[in-house]
Structure 1
């Protein structure tokens, strides 16, 4: 890794840089228009609500040039916590010099420091450079897993079907199974 780089935890003041890097990642995927977050959203979610964390790679002269955004997970199968890597991005000028590896190594060390047993992430099957990078790290590919997501109208439609408890919230107990037992 470049000697002029430091890996550290992101702070509230890094929210604009995290957004900038997120937009750059989305642009690399041809999806920049899909980024709806603002720096304020990142501050609120990450630093006020504690919904996630980030490591940043900071160049002594250029500022933040890379990030790893992540959150804690829990595996019922392992009975242990882990980390889910949401985004890993390094500016093109700093790729190939060990910056991405340094971010991933620090994230792996963080898992061990916290007693977590797993570090997981998704990588698009069309991202050949990313897949090769992760293989060089020694990561195992879990091909049978398929990412699913509910958002927008589909999320709202399903939420509207949640049973209400006596207090009127949707945290009630489901009385009948819908046949999806064992679905993962």
Structure 2
């Protein structure tokens, strides 16, 4: 039997989620990249109009948040409702114990139950371990055949653009 459980996050989980996000940033070679705070997570995910949802893997014995998925809906003019997974993260010492599989399965189950037509996410090019994980789960890598590139504006670029 697993020593963790997967559940919907609550506002009191924000400290643990934030710690995981910081660890994820280190894993992504961007230790100073996290600009949000615990208060930002609380406001944006657990306020009146939440901008994201989150599920956590919680150690049953200690209550520690050992992993999480952070996700939010999008809408496609081609397929309708979709879900974007921003994070799927498991702390290093808990990897290879099927925690990531359990988190992903729970999110996929939620997407199916709520009528979403797609779950998508991005993986950093250097993250071969992550790509292997998703391939083993049967996910489709659309990078090569999708003919798409991801573009974005940072906050500073948006402000400059509208001047």
- TM category (shorter chain) comes to over 0.9
The CA distance in 1 between the partners of 2:60 and 2:33, in whole Å, is 31
**Root-mean-square deviation (CA), in Å?**
1.1
The CA distance in 2 between the partners of 1:88 and 1:96, in whole Å, is 14
**Which residue is equivalent to 1:65?**
66
Deviations 1:29-83 (A, max 9, x none): 12121111110000001111300000100011232100000001111111x2111
In the TM superposition, residue 152 of structure 1 has moved relative to its aligned partner by 2.6
Mark the runs of 5 or more structure 2 residues left unpaired by the alignment: none
**Which residue is equivalent to 1:179?**
none
Indicate the larger mover: 144-153 or 32-41: 144-153
The CA distance in 1 between the partners of 2:77 and 2:127, in whole Å, is 30
Matched residue SS, 1:34: coil
Q: Which has the higher contact order (CA 8 A, sep 6+)?
A: 2
Aligned residues: 158
Q: TM-score, normalization: structure 1?
A: 0.83
Q: How does 1:125-136 map to 2 (within 5 A)?
A: 125-136=125-136
The CA distance in 1 between the partners of 2:38 and 2:162, in whole Å, is 28
Matched residue SS, 1:27: helix
Mark the runs of 5 or more structure 1 residues left unpaired by the alignment: 161-184
Give 4+ residue runs of structure 1 displaced > 2 Å after superposition: 157-160
Q: How does 1:71-110 map to 2 (within 5 A)?
A: 71-78=72-79, 80-110=80-110
Matched residue SS, 2:153: coil
Of structures 1 and 2, the larger Rg is shown by 1
